[in-house]
């Protein structure tokens, strides 16, 4: 594959994989926590939290990128604080591409995990409680293993979606070769370049293969986890 791609195209693929991995890892713990609160929590403002968790699904990605630019840009309230206090700049960096992608795929993980939690048998948790297990022990030994298929499916689907994120990344992190130019941005650049049709076709093929492989892996992994849980039971 390396010989098949030019150095710039290989760089775009490498950055895409880095951004996808880090974005999923960054938002996974928060997504699990939010999914748990939405599925089991009863508190004032739950509807607002639900809306905020899923709003990236309905907003145009460019709008999400613009909001991030206003918040985390050098002159934004959060961006200025990070830059002046810690010297951290997110806008127009790989880290910024990770942030934008994490925000976009966050609802996918929340949705998958929440559906998994909703399907849990509350009697199992109650049985563990009557046997003396505390809340943390019940979550670690009963709830979390049963949530595993949903978590795994959400992670893999979010990873596949991360590879295709375009609008939020180009708005917040720009299209910088070797820094923020991911596969979708490289495809866009190739289309805009005279004679770039062949490069666009190569990159689009790679994107398609990676997306399909991710979806197949999600289904296979979820089935294997369910079988493991069934044998354990």
pLDDT in the model for residue 232: 52
What is the number of structural domains in the chain?
1
Q: Tokens at residue 69, please? A: 């630019």
- Share above pLDDT 90 across residues of the chain, in percent, rounded to a whole number: 53
Question: Residue ranges of the chain with pLDDT lower than 50?
Answer: 1-2
pLDDT in the model for residue 120: 75
> The domain that contains 40 carries what CATH number?
1.10.3720.10
Give the CA-trace dihedral at 59, 61, 66, 69, to 10 degrees.
Answer: 120
Q: Residue 133, by phi and psi: left (phi above 0), alpha (psi -120 to 50) or beta?
A: beta
pLDDT in the model for residue 93: 95
Whether 201 maps to a domain, the answer reads: yes
- In terms of Cα–Cα distance, which of 59, 68, 77, 56 is closest to 173? 68
Instruction: Give the residue numbers spanning the domain of 25.
Output: 7-59+94-232
Whether 77 maps to a domain, the answer reads: no
């Amino acid at each position: 594959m390396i010989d098949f791609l030019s150095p710039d195209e290989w760089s775009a693929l490498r950055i895409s994989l880095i951004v996808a991995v880090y974005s999923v890892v960054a938002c996974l713990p928060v997504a699990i926590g939010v999914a748990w609160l939405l599925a089991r929590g009863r508190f004032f403002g739950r509807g607002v939290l639900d809306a905020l968790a899923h709003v990236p699904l309905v907003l145009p990605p460019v709008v999400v990128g613009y909001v991030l630019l206003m918040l985390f840009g050098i002159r934004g309230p959060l961006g200025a604080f990070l830059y002046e206090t810690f010297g951290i700049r997110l806008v127009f960096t790989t880290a910024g591409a990770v942030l934008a992608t994490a925000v976009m795929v966050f609802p996918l993980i929340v949705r998958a995990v929440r559906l998994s939690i909703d399907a849990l048998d509350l009697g199992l948790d109650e049985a563990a409680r009557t046997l003396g297990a505390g809340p943390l022990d019940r979550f670690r030994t009963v709830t979390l293993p049963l949530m595993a298929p949903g978590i795994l499916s959400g992670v893999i689907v979010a990873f596949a979606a991360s590879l295709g994120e375009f609008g939020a990344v180009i708005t917040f992190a720009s299209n910088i070769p070797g820094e923020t130019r991911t596969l979708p941005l490289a495809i866009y650049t190739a289309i805009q370049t005279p004679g770039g049709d062949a490069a666009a076709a190569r990159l689009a093929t790679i994107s398609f293969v990676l997306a399909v492989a991710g979806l197949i892996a999600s289904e296979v992994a979820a089935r294997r986890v369910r079988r493991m849980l069934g044998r354990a039971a």
